[in-house]
Amino acid sequence: MRKHVLVIAEAGVNHNGSMDLAKKLIDAASDAGADIVKFQTFKAGKLVSKAARQAEYQKANLQESDDYQYNMLKKLELDEAMHLELIDYCQLKGITFLSTGFDEESVDLLDRLGMPFYKIPSGEITNKPYLQHIAKKNKPVVISTGMADLHEIKDALDVLTKDGLDLSMITVLHCNTEYPTPMEDVNLKAMQNISDTFNVKIGYSDHTRGIEVPIAAVAMGAEVIEKHFTLDRNMEGPDHKASLEPSELKAMVDAIRNIELVVSGSGIKEPSPSEKPNIVIARKSIHLATRINKGEKIQHHHLAMKRPGDGISPMMIDQVLGKTAVRDLAEDDKLSWEDIAG
C-alpha cells in the first residue's frame, strides 16, 4: 500500500496579524497540496513574561529597537473569531486547519474548535502541567523535540502516557530549534534513534533552508513533515527568513509524494511490472559468432552473447558447450535447444 506522509504547512505567525495574509497563506498551502495548514494559538501574557528577550534569530529578522518577546507576540495573537473565520476558509479551500496551543487556555480553545490532534511545540516538551493538560484531552498528539535529548523525550512520553494517552497515539518529530538550522546540525539519524528507542511513529519538523532535508526524512521513514512557509521571505516577522515560499512548498510536497511511492514497495527484489517488458530487450541470449555445420561440436569461439534475451540465457553456456549442431547454423543465428543435441 502507498504510504501517505502527513505534510503540515506551518504558517505559524507569518500572517503578521493580518487575516487577509492568513487566508493567502491558506491558499498557498492548499495549492501546494499540503494536508494541513497550521497556525499558532497563544496569549502573549501566558506565553512569556514581559522581561523575556527575543532570540537572536528574531532580533536579526525584526531589527527593531524593542527586543522583548511579549511586544512582538502581542501583535501576532489570533482571537477566537479569527480562528473560526480561518477554519471556515480552510473548509472552503479543502485543507485541514490546525493550530499549536502554547498554553492551557489556548489548548482548551482549540479543543472547543475541534482540532483533529494536538501539536506540542519543542519549547513545551519540559512543561509537565501543559503535557498533562493535553494528555487528558485523549486525542492524538504530535510532539516536536527541538533542544531535547532522549531523556527529556522519555520524560515527556511518560507524562503523556501516564495521563491517558496510548503510545500509539503519539508521533514524535525530530527537530532542531535554530532558525535556520545549519545543515551540519540536522542530525537526521536521530529521528531513527527516536523510533528505535521508544517504538513510536516518527516525523521531522524542519527549519533548514530549502527542501532537501524533509525529502530525505521521508526516505528515512518520517510519517509527518512540518515545514514553515511564507508568501515572501523578505516580509517583516520573526519566522519569514527560515520559511519556504509558495513555489518551494509545492516542490517539496510534490517530491514527498514521489518519495511516498518509492518507499511503499513490497521490499521483495523482483522485476516490477513496468520493467518486465524490458527483460527481453536489455538482456542477451546465446547467438552464433560463426557458421556451424550440422554435426559440429559447439565450442566457445562459435558463440556470441547478443540481444535480444528471448533465447538461451548466457548463464546456460556450460550446458551448450560440447553439444552437437543438429542442422546448419548461420552466423548471428539465435541458438535454441532444438538446434543442438548430445
Please give the average per-residue pLDDT across 87-96, as a whole number: 98
Name the residue among 34, 38, 48 with its Cα closest to residue 78: 38
The pLDDT assigned to 56 comes to 66
CATH topology of domain 278-341: Type Iii Antifreeze Protein Isoform Hplc 12 (3.90.1210)
Q: Examine the pLDDT at 158 and tell me if it is beyond 90.
A: yes
User: Given the C-alpha cell 483533529, which residue does it identify?
Assistant: 116
The pLDDT assigned to 62 comes to 57
Q: Examine the pLDDT at 224 and tell me if it is beyond 70.
A: yes
**What sections of the chain are H helices per DSSP?**
19-32, 44-47, 56-62, 69-74, 80-93, 104-112, 128-135, 150-162, 189-198, 212-219, 246-262, 278-282, 317-320
Percentage of the chain with pLDDT > 90?
A: 85
Cell numbers for 167: 503510545
Please give the average per-residue pLDDT across 67-76, as a whole number: 80
The pLDDT assigned to 265 comes to 85
The pLDDT assigned to 59 comes to 59
pLDDT, tens digit (0-9, with 9 covering 90-100), for 279-295: 999 999 999 999 999 99
Cell numbers for 331: 552466423
State the greatest distance between any 2 C-alpha atoms of the chain, in Å, as a whole number.
Answer: 101
pLDDT, tens digit (0-9, with 9 covering 90-100), for 103-129: 999 999 999 999 999 999 999 999 999
Enumerate the CATH 3.90.1210.10 domain ranges in the chain, comma separated. Answer: 278-341
The pLDDT assigned to 140 comes to 98
Q: Examine the pLDDT at 227 and tell me if it is beyond 80.
A: yes
The whole-angstrom separation of Cα 231 and Cα 243 is: 9
The whole-angstrom separation of Cα 199 and Cα 194 is: 8
The pLDDT assigned to 75 comes to 87
Is residue 238 within 8 Å of 177, Cβ to Cβ?
A: no
> Greater confidence, 304 or 48?
304
The whole-angstrom separation of Cα 53 and Cα 58 is: 10
The whole-angstrom separation of Cα 47 and Cα 101 is: 10
Q: Examine the pLDDT at 148 and tell me if it is beyond 80.
A: yes
Average model confidence (pLDDT) for the chain? 94
Q: Examine the pLDDT at 65 and tell me if it is beyond 60.
A: no
The whole-angstrom separation of Cα 82 and Cα 18 is: 10
Please give the average per-residue pLDDT across 27-46, as a whole number: 95
Is residue 231 within 8 Å of 28, Cβ to Cβ?
A: yes
Choose which CATH entry (3.40.50.150, 3.40.50.20, 1.10.10.60, 3.20.20.70) describes domain 6-262: 3.20.20.70
Is residue 79 within 8 Å of 102, Cβ to Cβ?
A: no
The pLDDT assigned to 54 comes to 66
Q: Examine the pLDDT at 8 and tell me if it is beyond 90.
A: yes
The pLDDT assigned to 64 comes to 58
The pLDDT assigned to 74 comes to 84
The pLDDT assigned to 55 comes to 64
Please give the average per-residue pLDDT across 212-232, as a whole number: 97
Enumerate the CATH 3.20.20.70 domain ranges in the chain, comma separated. Answer: 6-262
Question: Is residue 50 very low, low, confident or very high in pLDDT (cuts 50, 70, 90)?
Answer: confident
pLDDT, tens digit (0-9, with 9 covering 90-100), for 313-341: 999 999 999 999 999 999 999 999 999 99
Phi, psi of 108 (to 5 degrees): -65, -40
The pLDDT assigned to 73 comes to 83
Please give the average per-residue pLDDT across 148-176, as a whole number: 97
The pLDDT assigned to 236 comes to 83
Q: Examine the pLDDT at 1 and tell me if it is beyond 60.
A: no
